[in-house]
Amino acid sequence: MKNINTDEQYFYPFEANEPMAIATEALNVYYHDEYHAINDTSLQFKQNQITALIGASGSGKSTYLRSLNRMNDEVAKVTGTIDYHGVDINQPDIDVYEVRRRIGMVFQQPNPFAKSIYDNITFALKRRGITKKAALDEIVETSLKQAAVWDQLKDKLHQSALALSGGQQQRLCIARALAVKPEILLMDEPTSALDPVSTAQLEQTMKQLREQYTIIIVTHNMQQAARVSDYTVFFNAGQVVEYNKTNKIFTRPKIQLTDDYLSGNFG
Amino acid sequence: MDNKLKQQLHTKSKTAKYEQRGKLASIMMLVLIMVVVLGIIGFILIKGTSMFFNDKIKISDFLFSTFWNPGGKTPTGNPAVGALPMIVGSFSVTLLAALVATPFAVGTAIYMTELSSKRGAGVLQVVTELLVGIPSVVYGFIGLTVVVPAVRHLFGGSGFGILAGTIVLFVMILPTIVSMTVDALKSVPNHYRQASLALGATQWQTIWKVVLRSASPGILTAVVFGMARAFGEALAVQMVIGNAALMPHNLVSPSATLTSVLTAGMGNTVMGSLQNNALWSLALLLLLMSLFFNLLIHLIGRKGAFKK
């Protein structure tokens, strides 16, 4: 890691033997070849932890998140390395489809397909050649259980996913992402379209998922970051200002700018 | 002061009067158009059925007999007003043209919306619009000078026939289907694609299983529109199909469509005669078919509308 802590930037010093799920080194993202959305960002994400990315609108946190599983390929230029178990997955010869299977994503708006609940979950599996009904049934059940909606949905697996409530749809999207057995789950403001009750339930689910998955979540909601995450990264204007343990960053931020943001003095 | 206010509120202002006049003008235009449309439909209905009422011809003779020579008799002595050869001809060219055009059109539309750069899509857009703008007589002329001889060389016969008609119609309806399919693909919400890609599906799997699947009602509508156009096209088809009101034996034997017989025959008959009335019955058949296509489009549209 090349990060040097200064008055303007602080990075949590991970020990060398702590297991990392994914890390970026000098990541830069440009839109339309000119707008520099992410500037030289080097971050590590610890395995089986929830890391929250916070920051004002336009600070680049979503852009950064979407770069991790190459979802920005079509819309932006991403330079630098993304280290995934020793492999730089930001190379042109990398199979992006395999990357995205291993690094799943849940979006801001629940976006189930206009298919049945069952078909939503088995969609990616069938594309990967899993067609045995018994195997599919089992994966549908385990993923819905992991997303904590099995009890609500088990009797209507063959009904349209669009008929579900927003919270159920978002859980279905999580189950759909889990069905391909990823290692990392990227969540881009997953609760911003949900009501407070569904939000609280989803946060509970995230904490359970942490035991098996590494979660990186972008959130606008600082309380949410404080509630669910183990580590928090504060982005400002395409740069990381502070990366620290969540309890530290919210009680005693190292950088003045972080303090200002968290106490509502700007943004 | 109070009186002035009262007066202002009670008398119609200039703008209120303008509004009334505008509404009135709009309604008058509408009524005029309605009268014209209903008039046309009524006229065709009356003229198209007069053969059955005035000349006492059975509808079954019209729809199922294969002899077309209005005024003459079939070998068995029935009036030779059988429209079956033209019905078969019309449906053959329409279905075949749609069948050939659909894969090309969907492929082009996928390229334009999903694969090409914005600039490439723009160029293709201009090309499709250009194809729409070419008058049908020009298509027919090209068909006559290029397609018919080519068919003659490759498949024998005179070259005139359903195959030549299909090829000409294929090119003519292609842009219609392309541009409507492009609209259908564009209306597929982007988050469907994102969701699919984020699950590790390839771009092709995403297009095939998600985008095309959700756009299928729109694509179907596009195909039906193309078919309606093909069914109603007269001039270009008339120039290449051979205009022989016979049951088509094969794809290269001269045959006819409802429209081609109409255009060829309408100048040569006397109003009110059986020959003339038989042509009106063909026109009625065309009208009914176009109503049918319209109905189909509405049904597909209602069933396939996006629920967000």
- Considering CB atoms only, which of B191, B198, B209 is closest to A104? B198
Q: Region A191-217: what's the mean pLDDT? A: 91
Quick check: A236 and A55 in contact, CB under 8 A? Answer: yes
Determine, for residues A123 and B209 on separate chains, whether the beta-carbon distance falls below 8 Å: yes
What is the chain B residue with the closest CA to A101? Answer: B200
Percent over 70 (pLDDT), chain B: 98
Within a domain: B85: yes
What is the chain A residue with the closest CA to B115? Answer: A74
Q: How confident is the model at residue A69 (pLDDT cuts 50, 70, 90)?
A: very high
Within a domain: B73: no
Q: Are residues B166 and B210 in the same domain?
A: yes
Within a domain: B241: yes
Q: Region B230-248: what's the mean pLDDT? A: 89
What's the predicted TM-score (pTM) here? 0.81
Query: What pLDDT, on the 0 to 100 scale, is given for residue B101?
Result: 96
Given a cut of 70, whether residue B1 has pLDDT beyond it is no
Question: Residue B13: which domain range?
Answer: 2-54
Quick check: A149 and B169 in contact, CB under 8 A? Answer: no
Given a cut of 50, whether residue B19 has pLDDT beyond it is yes
Q: Region A192-221: what's the mean pLDDT? A: 91
Q: Are residues B50 and B86 in the same domain?
A: no
B37, B54, B71 - which closes a domain: B54
Query: What pLDDT, on the 0 to 100 scale, is given for residue B85?
Result: 92
Q: Are residues B101 and B44 in the same domain?
A: no
Given a cut of 90, whether residue B196 has pLDDT beyond it is yes
Quick check: A45 and A210 in contact, CB under 8 A? Answer: no
pLDDT tens digits for B134-162?
Answer: 999 999 999 999 999 999 999 988 889 99
Q: Are residues B12 and B134 in the same domain?
A: no
B54, B73, B91 - which closes a domain: B54
Q: Are residues B273 and B130 in the same domain?
A: yes
Given a cut of 90, whether residue A233 has pLDDT beyond it is yes
Q: Region B38-45: what's the mean pLDDT? A: 95
Between strands A76-84 and A20-31, the pairing is: antiparallel
Quick check: A232 and A75 in contact, CB under 8 A? Answer: no
Given a cut of 50, whether residue B307 has pLDDT beyond it is no
Q: Which residues of chain A have a Cβ shorter than 8 Å from any chain B Cβ?
A: 69, 71, 97-101, 104-105, 107, 109, 111-114, 123-124, 127-128, 162, 173, 176-177, 180
What is residue A108's three-state secondary structure?
coil
Q: How confident is the model at residue B305 (pLDDT cuts 50, 70, 90)?
A: low
State the CATH number of the domain containing residue B161.
1.10.3720.10
Residues of chain A found within 8 Å of residue B202, distances taken between Cβ atoms:
97, 127
Q: Are residues B159 and B227 in the same domain?
A: yes
Average pLDDT of chain B, as a whole number: 89
Q: Region B227-251: what's the mean pLDDT? A: 89
> Based on the structure, what is the number of domains in chain B?
2
Determine, for residues B198 and A69 on separate chains, whether the beta-carbon distance falls below 8 Å: yes
Given a cut of 70, whether residue B191 has pLDDT beyond it is yes
Within a domain: B29: yes
Within a domain: B62: no
Q: Which residues of chain B have a Cβ shorter than 8 Å from any chain A Cβ?
A: 189, 191-192, 194-202, 205, 209-210, 214, 306-308
Q: Are residues B153 and B289 in the same domain?
A: yes
Determine, for residues A114 and B307 on separate chains, whether the beta-carbon distance falls below 8 Å: yes
Average pLDDT of chain A, as a whole number: 91
Q: Region A41-50: what's the mean pLDDT? A: 94
Q: Are residues B248 and B144 in the same domain?
A: yes
Query: What pLDDT, on the 0 to 100 scale, is given for residue A2?
Result: 60
Measure the CA–CA gap between B118 and B110, rounded to whole angstroms: 13
Q: How confident is the model at residue A267 (pLDDT cuts 50, 70, 90)?
A: low
Q: Which of A247-251, B69-73, B90-94 has the lowest mean pLDDT?
A: B69-73
Within a domain: B67: no
Query: What pLDDT, on the 0 to 100 scale, is given for residue B157?
Result: 83
Sign of CA dihedral B239, B244, B247, B248: negative
- Residue-by-residue DSSP string for B143-172: IIIIIHHHHHHHH-S-S-SHHHHHHHHHHH
List, in order of start, the domains of chain A with CATH numbers.
Answer: 10-262 (3.40.50.300)
Given a cut of 60, whether residue B308 has pLDDT beyond it is no
Determine, for residues A177 and B202 on separate chains, whether the beta-carbon distance falls below 8 Å: no
Give B25: exposed, middle or buried? Use CB within 10 Å, 0-12, 13-18, 19+: exposed
Measure the CA–CA gap between A142 and A164, rounded to whole angstroms: 19
Given a cut of 80, whether residue B237 has pLDDT beyond it is yes
Q: Are residues B133 and B241 in the same domain?
A: yes
- Helix or strand run (H / E) with residue B72: strand B68-73
Measure the CA–CA gap between B158 and B243, rounded to whole angstroms: 12
Number of A to B CB contacts under 8 A, please give it: 63
Q: Shortest Cα distance from B177 to chain A (angstroms)?
A: 24
Q: How confident is the model at residue A3 (pLDDT cuts 50, 70, 90)?
A: confident
Given a cut of 80, whether residue B74 has pLDDT beyond it is no
Written as one letter, the residue type at A191 is: T
Q: Are residues B122 and B236 in the same domain?
A: yes
pLDDT tens digits for B110-142?
Answer: 999 999 888 888 999 899 888 888 999 999 999
Given a cut of 50, whether residue A237 has pLDDT beyond it is yes
Measure the CA–CA gap between A147 and A141, rounded to whole angstroms: 10
Given a cut of 90, whether residue B269 has pLDDT beyond it is no
Within a domain: B63: no
Q: Are residues B148 and B20 in the same domain?
A: no
Measure the CA–CA gap between A260 and A258, rounded to whole angstroms: 5
Q: Region A192-204: what's the mean pLDDT? A: 89
Q: Shortest Cα distance from B306 to chain A (angstroms)?
A: 9
pLDDT tens digits for A93-141?
Answer: 999 999 999 999 999 989 999 899 999 999 999 988 899 999 999 999 9
Q: Are residues B16 and B115 in the same domain?
A: no
- Best of A70, A72, A127 to disrupt the B interface (most B CBs within 10 Å) is A127
Given a cut of 90, whether residue A68 has pLDDT beyond it is yes
